[in-house]
Structures are given as C-alpha cells and as structure tokens.
Chain A
Amino acid sequence: MDLLLSAAQVALSPAALLAVVLGCLLGVVFGAIPGLTFTVAMALVVPMSFSLDTAPAIGLLLGTYIGGMTGGSVSAILLGIPGTPSAAATVLDGYALTRRGKASLALGTAVVASAFGGLVSLVVMVVSVDLVARIAMQFGPAETFGLLIFGLSTICGLSQKSLTKGLIAGVLGLLIMTIGIDEMEGVQRLTFGTIVMQQGISLLVAMIALFAVPHVIDAFVQYYSNKKQLNASADVRAELPSLKDLGRDFWLMLRCAILGTGIGAIPGTGGPIAAFLAYAHAQKSSKTPEKFGKGEMAGVVAPETANNAVTGGAMIPLLSLGIPGDPATAILLSGLLIHGLIPGPMLFIQNPGEIYQIYLAIIVAYIAVVFIQLLGIRFFVQLLRVPAHLLAVGIVIMCGYGAFAIRNSVFDVVSVAILGALSYGLARVGIPLTPIILGLVLGPSIEREFRTAMILSDNNLDIFYTSIPAAFFIGLSILIVGLQVVRSMRGPFKSSMTETESDASVQPK
C-alpha cells in the first residue's frame, strides 16, 4: 500500500499528468488522421522521452499508445477510413451509422467502449499477470497457427455476397503481403530484382490504399457526374450515448474486452485480429445479425472494446516476459529500457514502484482520452459539413503524407496510388474489400507461425494435432468452414447473411 501511495505521488504529479494528457492528445490526433498512426506518433515521442524523468516518460509513451488506439475510430466512423489498422473492423458499422446521421452517437459510444475495454484489460493484467503470461506461453507457433486459422474461418463468414468473390479478395490480400524479403529464409519474393521492393508493402500503406483511395475517387466521380450526395452531411448534432444504451451492450463489451486481452497477450497476434474476431462474435451472438453492416451499434462497440483491450493484453507479455507483441509495444519497450526498466520477471521484484506507475498512467490515460474525445466530438462532426469532394482533397494530402511518413519512402506513396486505383476497380466489380484486409492482417502471421511450427517439428504435421489447443482450434475451424460450405450449397440466395452490405467504401446509390 505504501508502494502504491508513493507511486501515486509520482505518477499523479503535475509533470506526469501533463505528459499523459499531452501523449493522449497527440495519440488521438495521429490516430484520427487517416494515414498517420500511433506507431508513427510514438516513434516521434521516444526521443522527447529521453530527457524526461521516468514517470512522465512512461506516461507520455503510454498516453500516445492509448490515445492513438482510440483515435483510430474517429476517422473510421466519420469518413469510413480507419485511422489505424486496428480500427478497420469499426468501419463496417461505424461508417454506416454516420451515413444514417448517427455520427456523434457512434463516436461517443466508441470512446466509452474503448475506455471500458482498456480498463477491463488493465484489471485483468493487475490481477492475473502471472497466470495470463503462463497461459500465453503455452501458445507456441502451432497453437497460434490454430488460433489464427480459427480467426480466419470465423471472420470469413462476415459480410460476403459471394463465397467466390470473398475468396478472390482474401487471396489478393495474402499475395500483397508476400512482397519483400521473407524474414525467415532471407529470400526475396516478388521484388523483381529491385531494392525498393525489398521493403515490401507496409500494412498501413495497404490500408490507406484500400479504404481512402476508393473513397476519394468516389467523391470526385459523384461530384463531377452531378449526382445528389446522399451523405448525411447536414446532420451534425452532438448526440451522446446514454447510460441505458451502454448498459444494453454491457455483456457484449465485457466478453469482447476479455477476448481482446487474451488476443493481445499472445505474441504474434494484435489489435486488428482482435477487432475482427470481436466483430464476428458480436454478429454471431446478436439477435439481429442481418442489421450488421448497416449501422448496428454493437458492430462499433465490439471491435472498439476489443482493440483497446489489446493494449492491456499486450502489456502482459511485455512487462512479465519482455516480449513486445507489436511495433507499438516494441517502441514502448525501448522507452522503458532507456530509463533503466528492463521488462521481464525481475521487473516486478526490482521495480514494483514503477509497475504501479505504469498502471496508474494507463488509468489516467483512459480518463484523459474519454474527456478529449467527448469534448472533441462536437468538433469532429463538423467535418461532415465539408463537401465530400473538398474533403477528398484533404484526405489525399494526408494519405500521401502519411504513407511517406511511415518509412520516409516515396515507394510507399506510389504503392498507395497503385493499390488504391486497383481497389477502386475491385470495389466496382463487387469484390468485397474486407477479406482483402483479413488476408493482409492474418496472412503474414499465419505463414510465419505455420513455418516456424514445421521447423520445430522437423517437418512433421503431427505438431498440429498432438497439441490440445492447436487441435481444438483447427477442429473448430474445419467445422465452421464445413457449415459455411454446406449452407452456401443449399441456398445461395436464401441466407439472410448474404444481404449484408459488404463494402464500406462505396457510397449507397
């Protein structure tokens, strides 16, 4: 208790509080602008944290991480362009809600769900860091592969008009991510002998291309063909969710928070996977699954809760085992190291005070994020007053800049343009974009886990069924895929699921 109090004195000092709030603000801004992400924001913030004391430095980094994770929902909901890859699932229903004039309600719900998810994951972390770390440790390559395949099979049921088109899209996503140097064997794939292709397509670049570019092209096409805009642009009321609305989804939020924490704790997964799994779960467990994709609030609540729960989940292996789960936690790790905090089992013994400071910083960050975003909503929604074709110009600039900023590479800007034009074409011929995203997000992980597992087992496939978790998840996926195939064979035009609007980037006609 003394430790907690002394940690509170440090973590709640004006300098530390200011650092957290500034971090959150920066994170929200970077997260909200399509093309800029919290990973970029954190890389910018790290040098600043060098000269700060430990508590403000940790606060600044955590604030940026958490602010960015929630900020990604803003542009996902308002513009249909996810601010970060983790917010891609939020687009499906969030943008549909905006088109129905419920932008501010969706934004408010998203931020509350985010904070809820983050805080639940923090509680899980505080209470059971050792237990969760031990369970996560059981997830080796074979088990993680099973889990990812399970994820892929569940999520594939989402919003597809046609199984074939969905498959085409999914495979395209997988293909794009094979470009570059294969990290395991060191071989070059699809680089055509150039150095510039060796860097591969960054996930973020592909995201911008898939969501933002078709959106922009659409806006111009509509403007120049003088079609009437069905955009709900006039409706900018700042309507906030009531406690009753939130209470209705409480159990869903709790389930998604726990799901997100668990996914976050397993190295090799991450925010986008958790968000899509949560979305699929929400749709499956809903009484009205046909409403998903048309502006169902649960479709915003689930992914937003889960992707923020990932922050707490990812902290578990980071702090207790010293393993960063994603690029953002890797930056956090170096920020901790420079202040002499070496994550791992000894951190809890040698630096218990700093551990409490981290916990408190997370709590402060979520409080700050809720305030920043709730205050910000009335300004954010003003964006909808801007005519779509003018807004599109702004989006083009931000995306070009954002693509460049990821790696300071012109190649990335060119990739956005090419892939973007390509995805506009795909959207026009009715190929859904969501499975492409899934291929992008899951493909590299699935490949890596599968190959590592095969190397570990000396090329013996039994590693996938001798491990109980791996066998369990793979069995489940076979079941799900089997059911889907049977259903699509029996009544391809009957299923209510097939009506779901699949493609967030094309405006309703």
Chain B
Amino acid sequence: MVKVLKKTLYGAIIASMTFGIGSVAKAEFPEKPVEMTVLFGGTAQTIGQLLADLMSKNMDETVVPVSRNGGGGSVGYQYVHGTEPDGYNIVWNSNSISTGYHGGKMDFDYTAFAPIAKISNEVPALAVRADSGWETVADMAKAVKESGEKLKVGASGKGSFTHLTTEAVLASVGLSDMAIHVPYDRGRAPVELLAGRLDAAIQWPGQFISHHEAGTLRILCVTSAKRISQLPDVPTCAESGAEGIDIVMWRGLAAPAGTPEDVVMKLQDTAKAAAESDEFQKAAKTIGFEVDFLDHAAFADLIARDDEKISALMGELGLKQQ
C-alpha cells in the first residue's frame, strides 16, 4: 500500500515537474504579482501608486508599488537592476536615471534597463513675487542686470532636476553669473519667496498655483516647449524670453535589460490602458502632471536623447562625474 502510494506520489511529482516546465514556456505573463519599485516620495509616489492600482485592474495579477527611496533614486535603480529580467520587477523611473548616473551615484546608466512605456510629464515652473513687477523672464533678466545685484533662486539640491532646469533657464537669459542657487527641500521655496528671502524659484507648478491664483506670486513661465493644460494662460519660458528652453521631467516604466519582448509588450499595453483611463486623466489634473504616453520604442529614443542633453548640461555646470 505504502509502496503504491509512494509510486503515485513520485509519478505525480515527476508529472507536475514536466508540466511545470512546459507551462513556464507557454504560460501567459504574468503568473504572479509584479513589483513596481517607486524611487521617490511625494507626487512621484502618489502617481506610481495610482498607476499600479489601475494596471492591476487590467491584468490577471496585481501590480504592487513598493517604495525604495534614497540616494536620489539610485537605491531603487540598483535593486531593480539586480533582479531577474522576467518582468516581475519593474521600476517607476524618470530622468533621475541620467542625473543619478552622471552625478556619480550609480555605476550603470539607462542602458541597464529595457524601457516599457512613458507615462507622464511634469513641467517645472518659474515663479516670482507678484509685487516684483516682472511680467516675463526677459523683464527679470533686464532688471537683475541693471541692478547688478545677484538673483536668489530657490530650487532643490545641487544636481537635482529642478536645479539643472534653473541653470539652463538662467544661462539662456545670460544670468548664470548673476544668480545664487539656494537649495530648498520639502516644498519650502514658495514661502521663502513670499517672505522675500528669495527672488525667484523653480519648482513643480502645484506648489505655486494657489499662490498664483491668490495674486501673491506670479508664475512667469513653464519650461516645456508647449504650454501645460493645468496653466493654459502661463507662457512657456521660450515665449517669455528664455530662448530654446524645452525641459520636462518624464516618468515611465522600465524593466531590467534583457526582459523578453512579449513581456515588455504585455506590460506596455497594460500601462497604456491605465494611462488612458478616466481616473488617471482626472488625477493628472488634480495632482498637476500631463499624461503623455509613448510606447517602448519611442520611449527608448527619448531616454537616449534626454541622457545626452543632461550629460551636456551637467558637464557645463561641472557636476558631471562620469
């Protein structure tokens, strides 16, 4: 009796193993939850959580957002970089892959990841006090040059995306040597601006909008090439006097390099459905980002182009480590 049982048991195990192997080859991705590493807190986390939630609704398995903050994104990138390229570990990425690599925080660059899809844009905005009398970036540049006093500009820490944006805008209006970069974290720039300790600040528009509407701060321009839907009346920086400025922070999804094509496609389609859903579009308006979907091929081009741009900019600023 025991022998028979043993035999059937072995048989069952062997059978299940063969079937198991067979089913791996044929099985539809995904067979288990997909882990989405979120690199930052704040809005990046909120958008990532929402995206994961919406993607889960379009897939048999759930997408689980897991925060791995720290080191300007490098901690999370390193984690995902070290996982199997099977599509079960993806990263909610951004330009931070380029700023982090060129800033010397990681020893691998964007080529270590297979792009899945671009999801959204966030566009920095330049704000000044309403009583400054500056209506355009050109006004500001002229006034600063005439007064000879340095402009105090608030942005996040050195090498951060808003800092790079700040330097690019300043350079385009010839103020590079006429400005002091004051690093502010945790969204304090608007208050420092209101209190008069700063003359200008470049941050995400969400921090300024309420003050802009209340008439205490004025958003001079947004740094993208096109105006953004959240602020249709605010000109672009190029329109406002800072020629050639086109800087946006993109966010998207990527998997470790070597992830099979069909898995990438599956994730791309799921992400597309999530990005195009009404809920996501609505959240874009309230949180303050633009939904701008690109498929994996177009996203790959964008990342490569952007990496060159960031590398050049960081080189000019002396921030490039590698």
Contact = CB atoms under 8 A, between A and B. Distances in A.
A452 B183 contact: yes
Most A-side CB within 10 Å, residue of B46, B65, B72, B288? B46
B70 A200 contact: yes
Interface in A180-203: 180-186, 188, 195-196, 198-200
Given A137-B195, A458-B150, A199 B70 contact: yes
Interface string B145-172: 0000010100011111000000000000
A217 interface: no
Interface in B9-42: 41-42
23 contacts: A137-B195, A180-B71, A181-B70, A185-B158, A186-B157, A195-B75, A196-B78, A198-B70, A198-B74, A199-B69, A200-B70, A321-B190, A322-B211, A324-B187, A338-B46, A338-B50, A338-B283, A342-B210, A345-B211, A407-B68, A408-B66, A409-B68, A409-B70
A200 B191 CA distance: 28
A182 B185 CA distance: 12
B185 A183 contact: yes
Interface in B281-321: 283, 285-288, 319
Interface stretch (A43-51, A419-427, A469-477): A43-51
Interface string A314-326: 0001000111110
Contacts of B158: 184-186
A267 B69 contact: no
Interface of A: 43, 46-47, 50, 137-138, 140-141, 180-186, 188, 195-196, 198-200, 267-268, 317, 321-325, 327, 330-331, 334, 337-340, 342-347, 349, 407-409, 448, 452, 455-456, 458
A43 B67 contact: yes
Contact of A338 (B66, B184, B287): B287
Contacts of A349: 214
Contacts, number: 159
B286 A140 contact: no
B266 interface: no
B240 interface: no
Q: How large is the interface on B (under 10, 10 to 19, 20 to 34, 35 or more residues)?
A: 35 or more
B270 interface: no
Contact of A195 (B105, B150, B216, B283): B105
Given A195-B75, A346-B214, A183 B157 contact: yes
B231 interface: no
B211 A186 contact: no
Interface of B: 41-43, 45-46, 49-50, 53, 65-72, 74-75, 78, 103-106, 150, 152, 156-160, 180-188, 190-192, 194-195, 197-198, 206-207, 209-211, 213-214, 216, 283, 285-288, 319
A268 B285 CA distance: 29
A409 B38 CA distance: 13
Contact of A330 (B42, B152, B198, B206): B42
B192 A322 contact: no
Contacts of B45: 43, 334
Nearest to B72: A181
B191 A137 contact: yes
B286 A338 contact: yes
B71 A181 contact: yes
Nearest to B185: A183
Contact of A186 (B42, B160, B283): B160
Contacts of A325: 186
A183 B216 CA distance: 29
Contacts of A338: 46, 50, 283, 286-287
Nearest to B188: A267
Contact of A339 (B68, B75, B188, B286): B286
A198 B206 CA distance: 28
B191 A321 contact: yes
A185 B206 CA distance: 25
Contacts of B43: 334, 337
B46 A334 contact: yes
Contacts of A455: 180-183
A339 B213 CA distance: 19
A153 to B, nearest CB: 25
Contacts of A458: 150, 180
Given A138-B195, A198-B75, 10 more contacts: A140-B195, A182-B157, A184-B183, A196-B78, A322-B210, A323-B190, A337-B206, A455-B180, A458-B150, A458-B180
Most A-side CB within 10 Å, residue of B75, B156, B319? B75
A261 to B, nearest CB: 18
A158 B286 CA distance: 47
